[in-house]
Structure 1
Amino acid sequence: MARVSSQYRDVIVAGASAGGVEALKTLVATVPADIPAAIAVVLHLPAGGTSALATILRRFGTLPVVVAASGMPLGRGRVHVAPPDHHLLLVDDQFVLSHGPTESGHRPAINALFRSAAVALGPRVTGIVLSGVLDDGVAGLVAIRDRGGRTVVQDPRDALYSGMPRNALRHLTPDHVLPVADMGAALNELVREEVGVGAGSSASASMRLEDRIARLGHPSVDHEAEGMGERSVFSCPDCQGTLNELNRGQGWYRCTVGHAWSEEALLAAQGDVFERALWTALRSLDEKANLARRMHAAAVQRGDHWSAGRYGRTADETNEAADVLRDRLTALPDRQVESGS
């Protein structure tokens, strides 16, 4: 009988958000220079401008760090960083940059990288979730696990922002939960594990479709026709289109354009929409009160006391409503900001 050829867990994908720069600096510093694996990193970044992440990480450890580009092959012993406003994806053994739909409001998104790695490389992949708020990376980490890869989560007590690690621990039992300083040694062992060709389960149809959306940005995806979900009562914060609930009970949504949302991210985004609406309403009330006061003064000047009284009452009532709304806004709890800085 012919011997089944083998391969190794030679691809590491890592995702971080708020507090992630510090976590990534420590990770890069602790990974051995001779590690026989390629490393790909997504840090949540604002869409505009440039990122200094690659420059920062080059100062730590001995691994070369590059900004990933489409068509760039996986380089063992090298760190590949996602550029702003592009999903970093894996197709076969090379990188692809995509301007596909945002996921939980992010591009680059951690889930997009993790999912593409799971689809393309299966058990060869080790996924790492680091510091951050909300839950980007959780669905991708589940995809890696389902394809036979390994999963690592930063110990929430070690993270500057524990939301992403805690949410990961809510949804799966990772292979390792570690402080970042201990990950280098663990990864050096994981990447030397041998896996048989064809090991791990096949990527599901829904996983492949979501990967295709991130890569190609297919418009007007009919998730119901694809058997991926049902129409929900919620709307997409990015485009106001109707969201479909994928895999009911899993807390994951996509609109027909392709924007993806977790329940945690959708809740936060709807809170932002609500707050913006309140500020818009407050501005409108302030402008209405100012206009009513000007009209009141003009009516008084021309001796039109009836109109002056009406405008004065309007100004007083509008001011009262604005004060109530202003108190409501100042009482809103502070929210952590998703940022890689």
Structure 2
Amino acid sequence: MNRPSRIVLIGASAGGVAALTDLTAGLPKDFPAPVLLVLHIGAHRSNLQELLQRRCPLDVATARHGELPRAGTVRVAPPDEHMVLVGGHIELTRSAKENHTRPAIDPLFRSAALEFGAQAIGVVLTGTLDDGTAGLQAIKAVGGTAVVQDPADAAEPGMPASALRHVRVDHCVALAAMPALLASLAGRSVDSAAAVPGNGTGAAQELAAMSPARQRLFHEQQLMLGLGNFVEHLRAIGRPSMFTCPECQGALWELDDVAPRRLRCHTGHAFTDRSLQQAVSEGADEALWAALRALQEKESLMAHRAAEHRDSDPLESARLAAAARSAGRQARALRQLLHRPSPPDE
């Protein structure tokens, strides 16, 4: 099967179901490129494929491992699996979460940059935080095209606004204008010298021949797929930080010369500052509730043992009762803290 001359990658998060439905419904029947979609659905069952099929004139399906992207098709990342391009094929993997989510947008965009170079067209739609920004940077670094939904037109402007701040975007348009724009872009030929088909798992001896931008993408892709020496990959793109990974508690490395700041651990988890803040906040919240549970159990256990010793050992009973009261005071103080509304900026 012939390799497509262009490929379109689309990422969305909050508000993405409606946006993706409207966008794909407007694509022409003869759309000349494959379309790969990532929506932040986590591990939850998704009916996105069925929703898109109702209005989209193209062949819509959930992506299959090993499938070749074909023009005129739309493939959707399944729940709890990253969708990436390796060796010209779609690869589905439960590798480490990126930006605290799986499937994530950045892995698909990064792999497309390695595989398709300037032939890649990346699109960031509505969503919070900033997944997709680093992926668009990767596509631009190899000569590809960056398209962003106008934040004023998005249900959630966070992701498109982040892309606009940190990427030299080629097109920023409202959703209604995007089908015609993508059809026009997908139909344009690309300088073959700029489109360098690659392999995200390329042999090490090919690394020296890559541009610095592609070398960075190669190292990140290898880390994501769990291939090669993770220490060598990390040393090539970053330096140790003072933070630990909230997903696996491994050391996080800060990537060099990137904005917004990004961090990776050796197991493959990746974060921007904002996604790391969200993950750490959730971890802290879980730890506080666990502490409350432990204090309440301590209070109950000490009170029960104090009652058991009341007649046989009054001194021990008094000591245990005091410990129970102390644990109760701590538990009540912690519960008041947990029940307090969060500040608006959180």
TM-score normalised over the length of structure 2 = 0.87
Which residue does 1:297 correspond to in 2?
A: 307
**Residue 207 of structure 1 pairs with residue 202 of structure 2:** no
2:331 to 309, 322, 327: 322
Distance 2:115 2:48 in 1: 26
Distance 1:120 1:249 in 2: 22
2:136 to 133, 141, 144: 141
**Residue 238 of structure 1 pairs with residue 247 of structure 2:** yes
Counting matched residue pairs gives: 328
Distance 1:199 1:220 in 2: 29
SS at match of 1:40: strand
**Residue 58 of structure 1 pairs with residue 42 of structure 2:** no
Which residue does 1:99 correspond to in 2?
A: 94
Distance 1:171 1:38 in 2: 26
**Residue 286 of structure 1 pairs with residue 299 of structure 2:** no
Q: Map Cα deviations across residues 30-56 of structure 1 (whole Å, 9 max, x no partner).
A: 222222111000112223x64322111
Contact (CA 8 Å) 1:223, 1:244: kept in 2 or not?
A: no
**Residue 20 of structure 1 pairs with residue 16 of structure 2:** yes
Which residue does 1:3 correspond to in 2?
A: none
Q: 1:180 to 1:9 in 2, by over 3 A?
A: farther
SS at match of 2:156: coil
Task: Select between 250-259 and 75-84 the one with higher mean Cα deviation.
Answer: 250-259
2:262 to 241, 252, 266: 252
Amino acid at match of 1:237: P
Distance 1:195 1:130 in 2: 24
1:65-104 to 2 correspondences below 5 Å: 65-104=60-99
Q: 1 or 2 for the larger relative contact order (CA 8 Å, sep ≥6)?
A: 1
Q: Map Cα deviations across residues 116-172 of structure 1 (whole Å, 9 max, x no partner).
A: 111111111111111222211110001111111111112222222222112212211
Distance 1:135 1:100 in 2: 20
1:46 to 31, 37, 42: 42
Q: 1:177 to 1:319 in 2, by over 3 A?
A: same
**Residue 108 of structure 1 pairs with residue 99 of structure 2:** no
Aligned sequence identity (%): 39
Amino acid at match of 2:276: L
Q: Map Cα deviations across residues 39-76 of structure 1 (whole Å, 9 max, x no partner).
A: 000112223x6432211110123122011112212111
Unaligned runs of 5+ in 2: 197-210
Measured after TM superposition, the shift of residue 99 of structure 1 is 2.9
1:171-190 to 2 correspondences below 5 Å: 171-190=166-185
Q: 1:38 to 1:100 in 2, by over 3 A?
A: same
Contact (CA 8 Å) 1:9, 1:125: kept in 2 or not?
A: no
Distance 1:319 1:185 in 2: 64
Amino acid at match of 2:97: T
**Residue 272 of structure 1 pairs with residue 263 of structure 2:** no
Contact (CA 8 Å) 2:219, 2:233: kept in 1 or not?
A: no
Task: Select between 170-179 and 72-81 the one with higher mean Cα deviation.
Answer: 170-179
Q: 1:141 to 1:253 in 2, by over 3 A?
A: same
Q: Map Cα deviations across residues 81-100 of structure 1 (whole Å, 9 max, x no partner).
A: 11122221123543122232
Contact (CA 8 Å) 1:101, 1:257: kept in 2 or not?
A: yes
Measured after TM superposition, the shift of residue 247 of structure 1 is 1.2
Which residue does 2:123 correspond to in 1?
A: 128
